[in-house]
A and B are shown apart, each in its own frame.
Chain A
Amino acid sequence: MDDIKKGFFRPNQKFTTKVRERASIEVKDFNVSIGGNHILKDCSLTIPDKQITCIIGPSGCGKSTLLRSFNRLLDMTEDVKIKGQLLVDGEDIYASGVEITSVRRKMGLLSQRPCPLPMSIFDNIAYGCRIHGIRNKKKLRLVVEHYLKAAGLWDEVKDRLNTPAARMSIGQQQRLCLARGLAVEPQFILADEATSALDPISSKTIEDLFLKLKQDYSIVMVTHTLRQALRIADYVVFMYLGEIIEEGPAEQIFKNPQHELTKKYLSGAFS
Chain B
Amino acid sequence: MKAKFIEEKVMKVVMALTTVLLFFFVGSIIYTIIKEGWPAMSWSMITDLPGGGFYIGKEGGLLNAIVGSLMIVGASTVLGLLVSIPVVFYLNVYLTPKSKLGYASRLAFDVLFGVPSIVYGAFAFTIMIALGLKTSLLGGIIVITLLIIPIFIRSMDEVARTMPRDILAATFSLGATRLQSVRVLVRQILPGIATATLLSIGRAIGDAAAVMFTAGYTDAIPTSLSQPAATLPLAVFFQLSSPIPEVQSRAYAAAFILTVIVLILSIGGRLITNHFSKNRIK
A contact residues vs B (CB 8 Å cutoff): 71, 73, 76, 78, 101-102, 104-105, 107-109, 111, 113, 115-120, 127-128, 131-132, 164-166, 177, 180-181, 184, 190
Quick one: CB contact mask for B170-186 with A, threshold 8 Å, 1 for yes? Answer: 11111111001000100
B contact residues vs A (CB 8 Å cutoff): 96-98, 164-177, 180, 184, 187-188, 278-282
Q: How far does the alpha carbon of A115 sit from the alpha carbon of B278 in the complex, in Å?
A: 16
In the assembled complex, the CB of B176 is this many whole angstroms from the nearest CB of chain A, namely 5
- Given A104-B174, A118-B184, A128-B175, does the pair A166, B282 have CB atoms closer than 8 Å? yes
Indicate if the CB atoms of B175 and A111 lie closer than 8 Å. no
In the A-B complex, list the 3 residue pairs whose CB atoms are closest, starting with the nearest: A105-B175, A109-B173, A115-B166
In the assembled complex, the CB of A184 is this many whole angstroms from the nearest CB of chain B, namely 5
**Which one of A71, A116, A117, A184 has the highest number of Cβ atoms from chain B below 10 Å of its Cβ?**
A117
Indicate if the CB atoms of A181 and B166 lie closer than 8 Å. no
Indicate if the CB atoms of A127 and B169 lie closer than 8 Å. no
Q: Is the interface of A mostly helix, strand, loop or mixed?
A: mixed
- Given A104-B172, A117-B171, A166-B280, does the pair A78, B187 have CB atoms closer than 8 Å? no
Indicate if the CB atoms of A113 and B174 lie closer than 8 Å. no
Q: How far does the alpha carbon of A107 sit from the alpha carbon of B174 in the complex, in Å?
A: 8
Indicate if the CB atoms of A118 and B167 lie closer than 8 Å. yes
**Which one of B169, B188, B282 has the highest number of Cβ atoms from chain A below 10 Å of its Cβ?**
B169
Indicate if the CB atoms of A111 and B170 lie closer than 8 Å. yes
In the complex, what residues of B have CB within 8 A of residue A116's CB? 281
In the assembled complex, the CB of A130 is this many whole angstroms from the nearest CB of chain B, namely 9
In the complex, what residues of A have CB within 8 A of residue B169's CB? 73, 76, 109, 111, 115
Task: Using A115-B170, A165-B281, A166-B279 as known contacts, list a sample of 4 further A-B pairs with CB atoms less than 8 Å apart, ordered by residue number in A.
Answer: A73-B172, A78-B97, A78-B98, A113-B166
Identify 5 residue pairs between A and B in the complex whose beta-carbon atoms are under 8 Å apart, listed by A's number: A73-B169, A104-B175, A120-B279, A131-B175, A190-B173
Q: How far does the alpha carbon of A127 sit from the alpha carbon of B183 in the complex, in Å?
A: 10
Q: How far does the alpha carbon of A108 sit from the alpha carbon of B96 in the complex, in Å?
A: 24
Q: How far does the alpha carbon of A109 sit from the alpha carbon of B180 in the complex, in Å?
A: 18
Q: How far does the alpha carbon of A102 sit from the alpha carbon of B177 in the complex, in Å?
A: 10
- Please tell me which one of the listed residues A117, A166, A184 contacts residue B175 in the complex, with CB atoms under 8 A apart: A184
Indicate if the CB atoms of A118 and B281 lie closer than 8 Å. yes
Q: How far does the alpha carbon of A118 sit from the alpha carbon of B282 in the complex, in Å?
A: 9
**Which one of B98, B171, B177 has the highest number of Cβ atoms from chain A below 10 Å of its Cβ?**
B171
**Which one of A113, A127, A181, A190 has the highest number of Cβ atoms from chain B below 10 Å of its Cβ?**
A127
Q: How far does the alpha carbon of A78 sit from the alpha carbon of B103 in the complex, in Å?
A: 15
Nearest A residue to B173 via CB reads A109
Q: How far does the alpha carbon of A181 sit from the alpha carbon of B177 in the complex, in Å?
A: 16
Q: How far does the alpha carbon of A76 sit from the alpha carbon of B94 in the complex, in Å?
A: 10
Nearest A residue to B175 via CB reads A105
Indicate if the CB atoms of B174 and A128 lie closer than 8 Å. yes
- Given A115-B281, A116-B281, A118-B281, does the pair A76, B172 have CB atoms closer than 8 Å? yes
- Please tell me which one of the listed residues A78, A111, A118, A180 contacts residue B174 in the complex, with CB atoms under 8 A apart: A180
- Please tell me which one of the listed residues B170, B172, B180, B278 contacts residue A164 in the complex, with CB atoms under 8 A apart: B278
Q: How far does the alpha carbon of A132 sit from the alpha carbon of B174 in the complex, in Å?
A: 9
In the complex, what residues of A have CB within 8 A of residue B282's CB? 166
Indicate if the CB atoms of A181 and B174 lie closer than 8 Å. yes
Q: How far does the alpha carbon of A181 sit from the alpha carbon of B173 in the complex, in Å?
A: 8
